[in-house]
Amino acid sequence: MEIPIIITTLVQTIQTLMGPEFTILPFLFVSTGIFYPILVLLSGIISTISLYLYRVIQQNSALYTITDLSQHNGGRTVLSITKTMRIFYNILLLGIILTIVSSSIESLILTMTHSDHSQWWKGNSIIKSLVITLLTPLCYLFSYSKLLTLVSLYSCYLLPFLFFLGFVYSLGSLYINGIAANTNVVDNIWRDIGHHHIFPSYSMLMCIFAPFKQKINEPSESPLAVILSYIIVIFFAIVYGVCVGLSLGPSTTSMPFSSYLIINQSNPSMHSLAVILNILLIIIFLLQTPSYFVTIYEDIESFYFTSWQPSKRRRWILSMFIFSLIGLSSSFFWQCTIQISLNGSISGSYFVHFLPASMALFVSKNKSTKVASVIMIIFGVLFASSGISGSSILFIESVVDNYINKFNSSY
């Protein structure tokens, strides 16, 4: 029995939109308060305009991938920038996955052993280093096996299910613990109206609803299902961020699932469910790493090392090089917030704003499309600059805070 095209498109698009960056939503709700739904809607609207511009370009070329569209409409220069940006995006995305996974592993170890960071092997940096060390040979082997790569690729369909479980858990946490403990969060939402800048926060949402993560207008795609999937994901993003943010309250971080382990230690049943939730997160997130790794590997190999003869040694060298970059990005920008903001403001701005708008500006003869392209470029410059500066400020603040805390603890 054949599955209807509308259902296939709906499932595939929802899976594509709900990536690892979805974890940032509760933190954004607590940080921006009443602006949060506006931010999500703004991101969805801009991504829809971006998707429209991609389809205008696609009508003139009958091509379906971002790289093909870049080469056809911009030549080798635009293609090289696009591939470099895609490599950058995937490397930072793997760094985000490693940060989230290591945070959950760290919280599991600390809460289940009822200890603190006094033992060196329980530190986040040690756990992250071990995860990277173990994943390097694993992904090297995955790059040889098409079957294992497919398993990794289809594991992405489990992510929406994981976030739905997190949403259900937040409802249970709100029902058991109540909202009374989070009253100060609600007060802060209304007190801080206008306090938080909307542009740097938007950069964290840039890659969530980004159309560049899927093929543009495939022949088997249902346009109605694509629009419906955007509406579903936007609605769920608002509800998920609000409920998880309220259930965690002031304890909300950019890794909410690991935060549940900390706040529910005194409740055995809720803590047990949080343990299961975090174990599922670790498994699902780690299963995805090989597919992203293979994408990075193939991009680097096909674009930068075409003159090399294929060999096991070259494959191993490239594998080590890729994971060195991933480990470096994950260690340098050790907070998930900074990684997602940086990825959104650089690669997200390029794929959502600059690439479709610049190509549509020259390809389309429609005046309204040209006006939309110019507006997208202007907003792209605004969002990219504010996002990069916001990421830099977050990074400097975290370094200074970390240094001050260590300095104070030594006296």
What is the token pair recorded at 366? Answer: 């429609």
Which domains does the chain carry?
1-410 (1.20.1740.10)
Residue 123's identity, in one-letter code, is G
Selection from 237, 252, 236, 239 nearest residue 184 by Cα: 252
pLDDT surpassing 60 at residue 154 = yes
pLDDT tens readout for residues 15-27: 888 888 888 888 8
User: Residue 143: enclosing H or E segment and its boundaries?
Assistant: none
| N-to-C CA span, the chain | 71
pLDDT tens readout for residues 264-289: 777 888 888 888 898 888 888 888 88
pLDDT surpassing 80 at residue 253 = no
Helical H runs in 305-366?
A: 312-332, 336-343, 349, 355-363
**Axis-axis angle for helices 336-343, 66-112 (nearest 10):** 170
Q: How confident is the model at residue 216 (pLDDT cuts 50, 70, 90)?
A: low
Q: How confident is the model at residue 188 (pLDDT cuts 50, 70, 90)?
A: low
Q: What is the 3 state secondary structure string of 23-49?
A: HHHHHHHHHHCCHHHHHHHHHHHHHHH
> So what's the pLDDT on residue 309?
62
- Which of 100-109, 121-130, 278-287 is predicted with the least confidence, judged by mean pLDDT? 121-130
> So what's the pLDDT on residue 96?
85
Q: Maximum CA pair distance of the chain?
A: 71
Q: How confident is the model at residue 116 (pLDDT cuts 50, 70, 90)?
A: low
Contact 253, 334 (CB under 8 A): no
Q: How confident is the model at residue 219 (pLDDT cuts 50, 70, 90)?
A: low
d(CA 67, CA 47) in angstroms, rounded, equals: 18
pLDDT tens readout for residues 50-94: 888 888 888 777 777 788 888 888 788 888 888 888 888 888 888
Selection from 217, 236, 259 nearest residue 15 by Cα: 236
User: Which DSSP state fits 335?
Assistant: S
- Proportion of the chain above pLDDT 70, given as a percent: 74
Q: How confident is the model at residue 239 (pLDDT cuts 50, 70, 90)?
A: very high
> So what's the pLDDT on residue 191?
45
Query: 141 or 201, which is more confident?
Result: 201
> So what's the pLDDT on residue 236?
92
> So what's the pLDDT on residue 142?
64
Q: How confident is the model at residue 1 (pLDDT cuts 50, 70, 90)?
A: very low
What is the average pLDDT score of the chain? 77
pLDDT surpassing 80 at residue 48 = yes
Contact 86, 107 (CB under 8 A): no
d(CA 370, CA 314) in angstroms, rounded, equals: 45
